[in-house]
A and B are shown apart, each in its own frame.
Chain A
Amino acid sequence: MTAPALDLRAVARAYGGGRTLFGARPVVRAVDGVTLALPQGRTLGIVGESGSGKSTLGRLALGLETPDAGHVTAFGAPMPAPGTPAWRALRRRMQMVFQDPLGALDRRIPVADQVAEPLAIHGIGAPAERRARALDALAAVGLSAAQGGRYPHELSGGQRQRVVIARALITDPDVLVCDEPVSALDVSIQAQVVNLLIDLKAARGLAMVFISHDLRVVRQIADRVAVMYLGRIVEEGAAEAVLRDPRHPYTRALVSAAPAPGRHRRERVILSGEPPNPAARPAGCAFHPRCPVAVARCRSEAPALEPAPDGHATACHRVTPAAERAA
């Protein structure tokens, strides 16, 4: 069996701590003990709300940040330290796509030149070859050579996101980490870009981490889904199972809260309260202050992420234990 593209074991990352002029700075555990694997050629969706730690997890997975605890392996080898030659070599195989294409592009440079830039950084090919490969990459995302000659502001939002995807693909990576790649796009354009990512994944055998707050988009593209709440995974499993038959009360609330036309004013689970401040994580299960089914045990004891025999894992005291489910 081949090594997974990415393997994260009990990774944790905290920010803050120490002292400032104004006193002690609180420690925020952005990611708090997450174990996940991304097999080659598969897509893992990571969903959660603001402050859940999903973007930090993406940066840890790419080696853009070093975990405080736990470790990350890429293709079976430990993740090299950021900035080292080994890390730079790995960058070619692992690329990132961000939410805001205008912020990710330089407005003074024609987009084809920006698509070719990673080749220059990695010292791949002569200038003429780089140019040809950039045009190939643009064609692969549905943009013409003429559009490649334009500046970012001369393109639409959807076209700019295609440029960013072309730039991520030009080094022919094996892993693509996408952080909210379609959130800034209109519905009709979002569907174009999601279809493009699905086609590219199939054509190139890409492994993908797809980070999003939008459960519906994740459903279309991911094989497996991990749901995060305050830095921990509360539910993980096959995308269909997690999003059609959610088991954790938080996932249930998320699924029922995402409105859709056609499903008329159905029963919604409306959570009380707001996500707690990550710097003041509640004791026990972090979700208990908002949970409609919490019991005393949830206030004192943090539930572990327990896999059921069907491979669908849940971190909740109130979910039927795996043994009973199997019986």
Chain B
Amino acid sequence: MAAPLVRIEGLTVAFDGAPAVRGVDLAVHPGEAVGIVGESGSGKSVTWLAALRLLPAKAAVAGRVLLDGRDLLALPLPEVEAVRGGRIGMIFQDPASALNPVLRIRRQLGEVLARHRGLSGAAIAAEARRLLDLVGIPDAARRLDSYPHEMSGGQNQRVMIAMAIAGQPDLLVADEPTTALDVTIQAQILDLLAALRRELGMALVLISHDLGVVAETCDRVAVMYAGRVVEMGPAEPLFDAPRHPYTRGLLDALPTLDAAERLVAIPGVVPDPRAMPPGCAFAPRCAHAAPVCLGAEPALRATLPGRWSACARPDLDLAAPPPRPPATPAPAAEAVA
């Protein structure tokens, strides 16, 4: 396999002493689509905000983020700013708040083109129009003179994507890019991201809580829980036959359109970062927890070729249905420390 485009090594992040990311190792190869899946508080967004130096100063970040052999965490800030929007483009969940409401689209796209591509004057206008065409905005020439509030959420997200690819990035980091959009518009945006990736040969990191979105879009998936990657592997086998009980639990908790069956919820809530349980962070909610899980926190280990899992009981048969939960929820299981 070719050398990775970006390699995250031993990344940790803490806010006021509370750990948010607790040792993440992750590589993104040229042209591949990697999905980062997890629930709120899993550290999936913080990992990439930290990697791109977008966290506030109070965040304590350690580890290495290597791009072309340079460590983004150690570079002077102006050099990191040249990478952001240049080699690495970014889009976020809420396009309305990421765009400047008082500037026309022409001006906002133009700034990126001037800064990262060194374009000016007529070249900017032509390239801005080409980008809006590329992301499927009809009547691009006229739309350049629009303000964000004059366009729909889906169109604003297309503008965000145009700005993110304006610097011709090798990697696009998309954090919940379709979460704020209606499902028919979500399908359009996912289709656009896949088409752009094919045409531009760009790698994609898709951060999402939505397993379906990630399964349809990504080649490889990393599942995060409580600040760590608990399972990683190619998307299809990972979702067909997960090796970590948390991944199995997430899939079982998803309702389907095929049948109205009682959902298998994961009991309890994610641990408080200030009061992490001993051993495996998922053990208090895990149907398969055993004494071995309360010892050292299990490391991410290769199980099959290309498959990684951080479970102290790697030989579990997760194809078997988990024990059914009781009909009434148990209050004690959800106690917050």
Instruction: Determine if chain A interacts with chain B.
Output: yes
Chain A residues at the B interface, C-beta cutoff of 8 Å: 49-50, 139, 141-144, 147, 154-159, 186-192, 194-196, 198-199, 213-217, 219-221, 239-240, 243-244, 253-255, 257-262, 264-265, 268, 270-271, 274-275, 290
* Residues in chain A near residue B212, CB distance under 8 A: 258-261
A258 x B265 contact (CB < 8 A): no
Interface Cβ pair total, 8 Å cutoff = 151
Q: Which of B184, B255, B269, B329 contacts A271 (CB 8 A)?
A: B184
* Complex Cα spacing A147 to B334, Å: 10
CA A243 to CA B129, docked complex, whole Å? 41
- Compute how far the CA of A215 lies from the CA of B251 in the bound complex, rounded to whole angstroms: 17
Nearest chain A residue, comparing its CB with the CB of B185: A274
User: Quick check: B211 and A261 within 8 Å, CB to CB?
Assistant: yes
**Other-chain contact of B330, A142, A239, A264 (Cβ < 8 Å):** A142
Are A219 and B260 in contact, CB atoms less than 8 angstroms apart? Answer: yes
Contacts of A268 in B (CB 8 A): 187, 191
Query: In B194-231, which residues have CB < 8 Å from any A CB?
Result: 209-216
Question: Do A195 and B262 touch across chains, with their CB atoms under 8 A apart?
Answer: yes
Q: Judge whether A257 and B187 touch: CB under 8 Å.
A: yes
Partner of A187, one of B187, B253, B332, B334: B253
Q: How large is the interface on B (under 10, 10 to 19, 20 to 34, 35 or more residues)?
A: 35 or more
A158 to B268, CA, bound (A): 10
- A-B residue pairs in contact (CB < 8 Å), sample of 8: A147-B331, A147-B335, A187-B250, A187-B254, A188-B249, A189-B265, A191-B255, A194-B255
Residues of A within 8 A of B16 (CB): none
Which residues of chain B have C-beta atoms less than 8 A from A188's C-beta?
39, 249-250, 253, 265-266, 285
Check A159 against B334 for contact (C-beta < 8 Å).
Answer: yes
A220 proximity list for chain B (CB < 8 A): 255, 260-261, 263
Task: Chain A residues near B260: list those with CB within 8 A.
Answer: 219-221, 239-240
Are B182 and A49 in contact, with the CB atoms below 8 A?
A: yes
Chain B, residue nearest A150 (CB): B336
A196 CA / B326 CA spacing, docked (Å):
11
Residue contact B334 to A142, C-beta cutoff 8 Å:
yes
Question: At the interface, yes or no: B133 with Cβ under 8 Å from chain A?
Answer: no
The residue in chain A whose Cβ has the minimal distance to the Cβ of B186 is: A257
Contact flag A156-B269 (CB < 8 Å), given A187-B209, A199-B328, A258-B183: yes
Known contacts A219-B257, A221-B260, A274-B152, then 9 further A-B pairs from the complex at CB < 8 Å, ordered by chain A residue: A49-B185, A156-B334, A192-B266, A195-B263, A260-B256, A261-B212, A264-B236, A268-B187, A270-B187
Q: Which of B185, B215, B327 contacts A199, CB < 8 Å?
A: B327
In whole angstroms, what is the CA distance A195 to B266 when docked? 11
Q: Are B257 and A216 in contact (CB under 8 A)?
A: yes
B19 / chain A contacts, CB cutoff of 8 Å: none
- Distance A147 CA – B213 CA, assembled complex (angstroms): 35
Q: Which of A214, A220, A255, A261 has the most CB of B within 10 A?
A: A261
Q: If A213-B182, A258-B183 touch, does A190 touch B253 (CB 8 Å cutoff)?
A: yes
Q: A126 to B188, alpha carbons, bound, how many Å?
A: 57
The reply to whether A261 and B251 form a contact with Cβ atoms under 8 Å apart is yes
* Docked-complex contact B39 and A187, CB < 8 angstroms: yes
The residues in B between 155 and 205 inclusive whose CB is less than 8 angstroms from any CB of A are: 155, 182-188, 190-191
Are B336 and A156 in touch, CB under 8 angstroms?
yes
Q: Interface code B297-337, partner A: CB below 8 Å = 1, 0 otherwise?
A: 00000000000000000000000000001011111101110
| Residues of chain B lying within 8 A (CB to CB) of residue A261 | 211-212, 214-215, 239, 251, 254
Tell me which residues across on chain B come within 8 A of A143, comparing CB atoms. Answer: 331, 334
Residue on B with the closest CB to A144? Answer: B331
Q: Which residue of B lies closest to A51 (CB)?
A: B182
Q: Which of A199, A217, A258 has most chain B Cβ within 10 Å?
A: A258
Please tell me if B258 contacts chain A, counting CB pairs below 8 Å. yes
Q: Are the C-beta atoms of B257 and A215 separated by less than 8 Å?
A: yes
User: Which listed residue, A147, A239, A260, touches B215 by the CB 8 Å rule?
Assistant: A260
Query: Which A residues lie within 8 Å of B336 (CB)?
Result: 147, 154-156, 159
Are the CB atoms of A255 and B257 closer together than 8 Å?
A: yes
Distance between B60 CB and nearest chain A CB, rounded to angstroms: 24
B52 at the A interface (CB under 8 A): no
Give the shortest distance, in Å, between B112 (CB) and chain A (any CB): 25
Q: Is A192 in contact with B265, judged by CB distance below 8 angstroms?
A: yes
Chain B residue with Cβ nearest A221: B260
Q: Are A196 and B254 in contact (CB under 8 A)?
A: no
Say whether B264 faces chain A, with CB atoms less than 8 Å apart: yes
Q: Report whether B256 and A219 are in contact in the complex, using a CB–CB cutoff of 8 Å.
A: yes
How far is B37's CA from A261's CA once the two chains are assembled, in angstroms?
Answer: 12
Q: Which of A158, A191, A244 gathers most chain B CB within 10 Å?
A: A191
Contacts of A190 in B (CB 8 A): 253
Q: Determine the distance from Cα of A195 to Cα of B152 in the docked complex, in whole angstroms.
A: 35
C-alpha gap A221/B183 in the complex (Å): 20
The answer to whether A270 and B188 touch across the interface, beta carbons within 8 angstroms, is: yes
Alpha-carbon separation in the docked complex, A68 to B48 (Å): 50
Contact A216:B335 (CB < 8 A) given known A261-B239, A274-B185: no
**Minimum CB–CB distance for A228 against chain B, Å:** 12
Closest 3 A/B residue pairs (Cβ): A259-B212, A142-B329, A191-B265
Q: How far is the CA of A141 from the CA of B152 in the complex (A)?
A: 39
CA–CA, A141 and B329, complex, Å: 7
B154 within 8 A of A: yes
A102 to B: closest C-beta gap in Å: 13
A211 CB, min distance to chain B CBs, angstroms: 14
Within 8 A of A (CB), among B92-118: none
Contact check, A259 vs B216: say whether CB atoms are below 8 A apart.
Answer: yes
Contacts of B210 in A (CB 8 A): 259
Most chain B CB inside 10 Å of its own CB: which residue of A187, A216, A268, A274: A187
CA distance A275 to B255 in the complex (A): 26
Partner of A254, one of B155, B183, B256, B266: B183
